Chains A and B, each alone.
Chain A
Amino acid sequence: MPAKTKTQTKTPDSPGTPPAPAAAAEPASSSRDGDRGRGSLRVGIGGPVGAGKTALVAALCRALSGELSVAVVTNDVYTDGDAEILLGQGVLEPERITAVQTGCSPQAAIRDDISANLEAVESLEAAFEPLDLVLIESGGDNLTTTFSKGLIDRQIFVIDVAGGDRVPRKGGPGITSSDLLVVNKTDLAPLVHADLDAMRRDATAQRSKGPGGVVRDNPLPTLFTSLSEHPEAPAVADWIRELIGERRTPARA
């Protein structure tokens, strides 16, 4: 497949613009107010249906469960299907995965009324104390999905190349203000005629503006991944390792 070589020159699964440290150096912006700075790091993972949220959760469990104490909360739309996929892949012990029912309204469960998710996170924290990382996966939704800062410390928004290369241009809160934007399935770009350079440009432009139209010194980070080529999502795992490292360093205050 000659087209694949072309994709690789665009560095799948390597930092997009800019590298993660630049974002980490940014002082408390509005999207960081929610960080409790103690206990487990709670990371929300949202994005449209089929973008690869469950695959990313599985990848992060594979990459990190050897070095960190990890648990997962899923918010699937219909059933505990996402939890079952994770169990089937054997990436975590079953006791470390909890499925939350969302009453047909996945956005409500992670944003408007977070009580069921908080219960799930807190009982996992109590059962596996000390827990380093809780991944909270939203039910597949649309570009307006965001997590409440009352539930998570950081949020990752996952879109995929096959969903169309115009998605970053469309914007919406997930694209513009998530702490990390992941563009998945870069290996499919040649097959769906997606222009990765355009996606990168649009994502950078969308993620350069803060509240009040203020231009950020550094755009919020974007990473391009291909979970089929790199099943442990190393760049995203590094982003999380860095956050965990920050929390363990008291100098941050």
Chain B
Amino acid sequence: MTRSALLLLTDSRFPAGAHAHSAGLESAVAAGRVHDVASLHEFLLGRLHSAALVAASFAAVACQCEDPATLAELDHEHDVRLVSPALRSASRRLGRQMLRAARATWPGPRFELLASLSAEGPHQPLALGVTCAAAGLPAEDAALCAVQGTITAPAGAAIRLLGLDPNEVSGVLAKLAPAADRTAAKALTLARMSQLKNDFSLLPALGSPLLDLTAEDHVTWEVRLFAS
């Protein structure tokens, strides 16, 4: 394992397609719910306690998984947690894009584990977990990466959509760092519990009903700047 691999994977320049996704922020901005640094902080805190925990626990399990059947089960469990078809499709698209970048970056047989999954590709947290394994990173790092990705994508979108000062947005992310660490640690614990009981339905299933609804609305917009 190498620390540099972790930094490479979390760098916003890693070409896995995240820059085109706002994770619901574009809708929140259009509705006026997020309009400044303070309301962005609230939005990200919400993501941290819901989507980030789910993604991180799935990434942690996927990172330790060496069996295609178990990954298929995990993929199904993640699928049923995404109520909005638009979000399901966005998650698989990001999974495909992550795999494309990761295969070229850390070539190896590990990615074959995902070959039998949906033709649409694996859900993003699974692709991330397997990528971490291929890069020699532990489950703990997979969870951290997932949490970080969940909040940096909408934070970057806010800089572009609202013209917020990028330095202030960095400050918001730094302020959320302790909570992000706690979310990753909690996700790791929940991942271990589900592995011990060999029951992945125990993994967290926290949703955001408003974001599910706005995601369905967002895909119908004639003019949108982000894919989700």
Task: Enumerate chain A interface residues (CB-CB to B < 8 A).
Answer: 30-31, 33-34, 111-114, 144, 146-151, 170-173, 210-214
Other-chain residue from A34, A172, A211 in contact with B29 (beta carbon distance below 8 A): A211
B223 neighbours in A (Cβ, 8 Å): 170-172
Known: A33-B36, A150-B168. Is A213-B163 also a contact (CB below 8 A)? no
List A contacts of B167 (CB < 8 A).
Answer: 114, 150
Other A-B pairs, 4, CB within 8 Å; known A211-B35, A213-B31? A148-B163, A148-B166, A170-B223, A173-B161
The chain A residue with its CB closest to the CB of B34 is A211
Q: Identify which of A30, A31, A112, A214 contacts B160 (C-beta below 8 A).
A: A112
B7 within 8 A of A: no
Q: How far apart are B20's CB and chain A's nearest CB, in angstroms?
A: 12
Q: How far is the CA of A170 from the CA of B224 in the complex (A)?
A: 11
Known A33-B36, A212-B31, A213-B30; contact A113-B163, beta-carbon cutoff 8 A: no
Proximity bits, B137-168, A CB within 8 Å = 1, else 0: 00000000000000000001001111111111
Which residue of the partner chain A has the closest CB to B167? A150
Contact call B31/A148, Cβ cutoff below 8 A: no
- Do A150 and B165 form a contact, CB below 8 Å, given A212-B30, A213-B30, A214-B32? yes
Shortest Cβ distance from residue B163 to the other chain A in the assembled complex, whole angstroms: 5
B80 adjacent to chain A (CB < 8 Å): no
The listed residue (A33, A111, A172) touching B159 by CB distance below 8 A is A111
Q: How many Å lie between the Cα of A144 and that of B165 in the bound state?
A: 17
Which of B33, B164, B225 interacts with A150 by CB under 8 Å? B164
A100–B199 Cα gap in the complex (Å)? Answer: 56
Contact of B164 among A149, A211, A214 (CB under 8 A): A149
Q: Could you say which residues of chain A place their CB within 8 Å of the CB of B162?
A: 30, 149
Interface-central residue, B156, B163, B168, B225, by most chain A CB under 10 Å: B163
Interface string of B160-198 (1 = CB under 8 A from A): 111111111000000000000000000000000000000
Is there contact, CB below 8 Å, between A146 and B163? yes
Contact for B166 among A146, A150, A173, CB less than 8 A: A150
Known: A112-B156, A144-B225. A149 touches B32 (CB 8 A): no
Listed by A's residue number, 15 A-B pairs whose Cβ atoms lie within 8 Å are A30-B36, A33-B36, A111-B159, A111-B160, A112-B156, A114-B166, A147-B163, A148-B165, A148-B166, A150-B164, A150-B168, A171-B223, A173-B225, A210-B32, A213-B31
Q: Which residues of B contact A144 (CB under 8 A)?
A: 160, 225
Query: Would you call B163 and A212 a contact (CB within 8 A)?
Result: no
Question: Interface residues of B toward A: which range?
Answer: 20 to 34
Given the interface pairs A30-B35, A171-B223, A211-B35, the reply to whether A113 lies near B166 with Cβ below 8 Å is: yes
The answer to whether A111 touches B163, judged by C-beta atoms less than 8 angstroms apart, is yes
In the complex, which of the residues B29, B30, B164 contacts A148, with contact meaning CB atoms closer than 8 Å? B164
Complex Cα distance, B165 from A58, in Å, reads 28
Q: Which residues of the other chain, B, contact A30 by a CB distance below 8 angstroms?
A: 35-36, 162
CB-CB under 8 A from B161, the residues of chain A are 173
Return the contact of B163 from the options A34, A210, A214 (Cβ within 8 A). Answer: A34
| In the complex, residue of chain B having the shortest beta-carbon distance to the beta carbon of A113 | B166
Chain B contacts of A146 at CB under 8 A?
160, 163
User: Do A149 and B165 form a contact, CB below 8 Å, given A33-B36, A211-B35, A212-B32?
Assistant: yes
The interface residues of chain A lying within 8 Å CB-to-CB of B168 are 150
CA of A211 to CA of B166, assembled, Å: 20
Chain B residues near A212 (CB-CB < 8 A): 30-33
Q: Which A residues lie within 8 Å of B166 (CB)? A: 111-114, 148, 150
Greatest chain A CB density within 10 A among B161, B162, B168 is at: B162
Give A142 to B162 CA distance when docked, in angstroms: 17
Per-residue 0/1 for B22-54: is the Cβ within 8 Å of any A Cβ (1 yes, 0 no)? Answer: 000000011111011000000000000000000
B214 smallest CB distance to A (angstroms): 13
Residue of B nearest to A152 (CB): B163
